[in-house]
Structure 1
Amino acid sequence: MPFPALADNALLPATQSLPQHVPLAAQTRDGLVESIHYGSLIATAQDATGTRTLFAAGDPLAPFYPRSALKPLQAVAMVRGGLDLPADLLALTAASHSGADRHVLGARRILEMHGLAPDVLENSTDLPYGTAEREEWLRAGGTATQLTQNCSGKHASMAATCVINGWPVKGYLEPGHPLQRLVAQTVTGLTGEQPLGLSTDGCGTPLFALTLRGMARAFGLIARAAAIEADGPAATMTAEAAVGLAMQRHPDMVAGEHRDVTELMRLAPGMVAKDGFEGVQLVGLPDGRAVAIKISDGGDRARMPVTVCALEALDVDTAPLASIASGAVLGGGRTVGAFQALNFLSTPVNEAP
């Protein structure tokens, strides 16, 4: 029987345009490979000539959507636009939070500091993202709201930035709005590349198609600025440093308890890390090096083991990260296999000059 026709064949990419991903992680059970996750990654460094590739696997120059990994860049844009928040709330601005009380109340605090009410938010509604937080919210009779949606800190800060600049709050998500033009300009500057496409993220924010290389460059710049300016006066601190330091000092606000990104920044001080839906992970190091990863199937479990493996390849001490580097495969309550990153450095690389 032939496959049924899709309603819109334009949604199907041409086979030749598919990214050339490679195996990055696998699960084994009693010596047999049970499942494989493909993807692409790149590690970069900054020097006098610009962004230099240290190693890569797969197709690191294929356009992709960074999803929530874009939030630190959006936060930099807002700080450049005059947003001035306590560090914990600035970290929440760059967050995909779990919806704990401190996250929801933090988003409300941002609004109240700028004379705003929650009804100005234009993000989608959702239950808290964290499992425990969601269950607690539901037990208390809660429903999906904009404040509990994991991007509410970013949206509260977007509305606040509009107030600071005298821009209309209503319509702040429109690509032509002054706020979003500032974000686009900032993203271009930090990544060093023009967006390769435009879409809309799950929360409603404009979303740019970029490359892993460009995103790695941005995170390297943010982490390096944080390291250089950590002990400097706040009055002269760059937006990149302010965002990076806020994330480092308040990793619980960037994600939440029992979230691997929060654990990574706790276990490896000096790193700036952010994940994104559909298998995206970015990590910036204090010396300006960075890692950018995209898991092709959009699954979440391969993201952190591959990240830790890439950090190890950069000669980072990953011993403190053992708890998030791999996972045991159980059979009858005992370990019968493992889920871990593969030796992706031995695979061919599809990277343009």
Structure 2
Amino acid sequence: MSGSHLLPQIAEPAPMRVPAHEPLVEVWRGEMVEGLHHGSAVLLEPDGRVRLAVGDIEAAFYPRSAAKPMQAVAMVRAGLDVSDDLLALAASSHSGEAVHLSGARRLLVSAGLGEDALRNPPDLPYDPVEREAWLRADRQPSQLAHNCSGKHAAMLVTCVAARWEHDSYLDPRHPLQVAVRTTVEDLTGQRAATVTADGCGTPLFGISLRGLAHAAQRLVLAPYGSAEHRVAAAMRRHPEMVAGSRRDVTTLMQAVPGLLAKDGFEGVQIAALPDGTSLALKVADGADRARLPALLALLADSGVAPDLLAPFAPADLRPAQALTPTRTDPTEKP
């Protein structure tokens, strides 16, 4: 079943405004709420209808690294043809483990390029354990260690495959980035509201949470052989490449059959189940600690078995009432 019928035309850009966020996650200490994270979230039915909306799901925002699956789709459409593990790495925010660094090198070597072709900034590995080991070995920040190096390496491979000049592959006017914008607008069903640069230097487009959830839905409902299907299949077959062995995105995809998930900086998360149920959320203050409990609440509302989700639930962070509509007493501890 294709999800293309859900978005028959490209809509106008999402409005740029201060989002009307609502409480998403409570921080408990003892017998009372000590803190509160606001945000917005949307849960879509398989047919595209909104099952649950919290906050402002129509305002433009930046999806950050949750946009990477869409960028990977654009690359496949433009001619990227690599193994599934490397395609998953292209859609990743990797931890900097050995498997990720070797994968990024493999991508570069396949295009006859070296690490110096990357245009992302140098960094230390994202995972704290890997970062500590890196520093103990007195290693310096490198472009390959940056959590976005898989995406950047794949962008370079795409440029070589399409016979595009690759030195300026991050320029919004470059054919690759024009293709990415076209794909983002196709998958979300709306024109980009604005464009800026992400932390790694890649063009980043402003869209709505509803549009982002639709894009996740398009990936899991896409027909076999399509670029969307290839990216979704690669990410689900190789969740270890999408994040890392100590990251919740990877372990959740390993625990929940058929789950597609991708996180992003500033408290962004997307997820979709094989039947097309999909979600997107944004934590207003960007706190990553609030992202997981909000995600778990939405997955529970999607029908994921509680025993699969229970091991991931932090003891002191709980979804607010808006994300748990069956709760009758908002002060009652689960």
Alignment correspondent of 1:260: 248
Amino acid in structure 2 at the alignment position of 1:247: M
Alignment correspondent of 2:128: 131
Give the distance between the partners of 2:307 and 2:207, measured in 1 at CA: 32
Alignment correspondent of 1:277: 265
Alignment correspondent of 1:305: 293
**Any conservation in 1 of the 2:95–2:127 contact (CA below 8 Å)?**
yes
**1:208 maps to 2:196:** no
**1:68 maps to 2:46:** no
Unaligned runs of 5+ in 2: 1-15, 326-334
**Any conservation in 1 of the 2:239–2:254 contact (CA below 8 Å)?**
yes
Alignment correspondent of 2:319: 341
Give the distance between the partners of 2:258 and 2:198, measured in 1 at CA: 28
Alignment correspondent of 2:42: 42
Count of aligned positions:
310
Amino acid in structure 1 at the alignment position of 2:322: F
Q: Give the 4+ runs in structure 1 shifted more than 4 A.
A: none
Give the distance between the partners of 1:162 and 1:339, measured in 2 at CA: 44
SS of corresponding position for 2:249: helix
**Any conservation in 2 of the 1:45–1:220 contact (CA below 8 Å)?**
no
Aligned-pair distance for 1:311?
1.4
Alignment correspondent of 1:112: 109
Aligned-pair distance for 1:314?
2.1
Alignment correspondent of 1:87: 84
Aligned-pair distance for 1:324?
1.5
**1:223 maps to 2:220:** yes
Give the distance between the partners of 1:318 and 1:210, measured in 2 at CA: 31
Report the TM-score, using the length of structure 1 for normalisation: 0.85
SS of corresponding position for 2:312: helix
**Any conservation in 2 of the 1:43–1:291 contact (CA below 8 Å)?**
yes
**1:190 maps to 2:187:** yes
**Any conservation in 2 of the 1:224–1:285 contact (CA below 8 Å)?**
no
SS of corresponding position for 1:301: helix
Alignment correspondent of 1:317: 305
Alignment correspondent of 1:28: 28
**Any conservation in 1 of the 2:17–2:60 contact (CA below 8 Å)?**
no
Alignment correspondent of 1:250: 238
Amino acid in structure 2 at the alignment position of 1:104: L
Aligned-pair distance for 1:17?
3.8
**Any conservation in 2 of the 1:223–1:270 contact (CA below 8 Å)?**
no
Report the TM-score, using the length of structure 2 for normalisation: 0.90
Identity %: 50
**Any conservation in 2 of the 1:44–1:55 contact (CA below 8 Å)?**
yes
SS of corresponding position for 1:24: strand
Give the distance between the partners of 1:72 and 1:221, measured in 2 at CA: 11
Amino acid in structure 2 at the alignment position of 1:161: T
Cα RMSD of the aligned pairs, angstroms, is: 1.4
User: Greater CA radius of gyration, 1 or 2?
Assistant: 1
SS of corresponding position for 1:83: coil
- Does the C-alpha gap of structure 1 residues 254 and 21 become closer, same or farther in structure 2, counting only changes over 3 Å? same
